[in-house]
Amino acid sequence: MLRLRQICLVAEGLTPAVDDLTDVLGLATCFHDPAVGAYGLENALLPVGSNFLEVVAPIQENTAGGRYLDRRGGDGGYMVILQCDNVEARRTRMGALEVRIANPLNYNDFTGLQLHPRDTGGCMLETDEMDGDQSADGPWHPAGNAWKDAVRTERTTAMVGAELQSPDPAALAARWAHILDKQVSTGENGNPEVILDNASLRFVEVTDGRGEGLGGVDLKVADRAAILAAATARGMPVDGNTVTVCGTRFRLGD
């Protein structure tokens, strides 16, 4: 099992970014994780169906998140976080592939591997395992114990993809596929993709001048018109069925 469970965005300020996401996408905050304070950050988790958008923002100088904001020129995508059922096997695989584990995570019922972005390319990639219930809508440690109370599906119902941009998308797709023990397939417009249980990771050319990174998220929506209207009202970029919020392109699908 390997599914997309969480996307992390990084922002200069937490409250403005969360306000934009909630107002445009119709989401609600379920949890603020105090553990991220150890990294000089604050955060918010917003459920998207049974998956999650996280926003982190620096609260002190010289944090990894702050340096990433500087490097990519502002708010944007930061991490792709996957749920697996074999984290120890993946730990062994990372050793064999000489992919460094930047941050091993262990919180009782939750074990994870944050991989070093210089070894993965693209963005931070994390694979995590929950003990016990591993169903698609099961518990998720980073989101707290009451996340289902904050699920709002009137506008946005699911997160079904992530878009990684690179000067060499084919090479990046091959690297991620090798790390994740998956195959590369050809998707929309001939772009290389890595298919997960519930989502796709799409690899595209850089066109926005921001360099390699997590550029977009694909959503399944129930009320596209309301999302587009809210984005327009807040003065956010709208391009067809894509809105840009927190420096991230959200593509609105059925």
Assess whether pLDDT exceeds 90 at residue 188: no
- What number of residues does the chain have? 254
Q: What is the C-alpha separation between 11 and 65, in angstroms, rounded?
A: 8
Strand ranges inside the chain, DSSP E: 2-10, 41-48, 51-58, 76-84, 101-106, 110-115, 124-130, 156-166, 184-186, 192-195, 200-205, 213-221, 238-239, 242-245, 248-253
pTM of the model: 0.98
pLDDT at 79: 99
Other C-beta atoms closer than 10 Å to the C-beta of 86 total 14
The CATH number of 2-132 is which of 3.30.310.10, 3.10.180.10, 3.40.50.620, 3.90.1150.10? Answer: 3.10.180.10
Digit-coded pLDDT (tens) for 78-114: 999 999 999 999 999 999 999 999 999 999 999 999 9
Find the distance separating the first CA and the last CA of the chain, reported in whole Å: 25
Q: Are 27 and 48 in contact (CB under 8 A)?
A: yes
Query: 156-253: which CATH topology?
Result: 2,3-Dihydroxybiphenyl 1,2-Dioxygenase; domain 1 (3.10.180)
Q: Are 212 and 174 in contact (CB under 8 A)?
A: no
Assess whether pLDDT exceeds 90 at residue 135: yes
Q: Is 79 helix (H, G, I), strand (E, B) or coil?
A: strand
Helices 224-233, 14-25: crossing angle, 10 deg rounding: 140
Digit-coded pLDDT (tens) for 22-72: 999 999 999 999 999 999 999 999 999 999 999 999 999 999 999 999 999
pLDDT above 70 coverage of the chain, percent? 100
Q: How many CA atoms lie within 13 A of 176 on its CB side?
A: 35
Three-state SS sequence of 131-159: CCCCCCCCCCHHHCCCHHHHCCCCCEEEE
Helices 87-97, 169-180: crossing angle, 10 deg rounding: 130
pLDDT at 43: 99
Domain edges within the chain = 2-132, 156-253
Quick check: do 2-132 and 156-253 share a fold? yes
Give me the mean pLDDT over the 122-143 stretch. 98
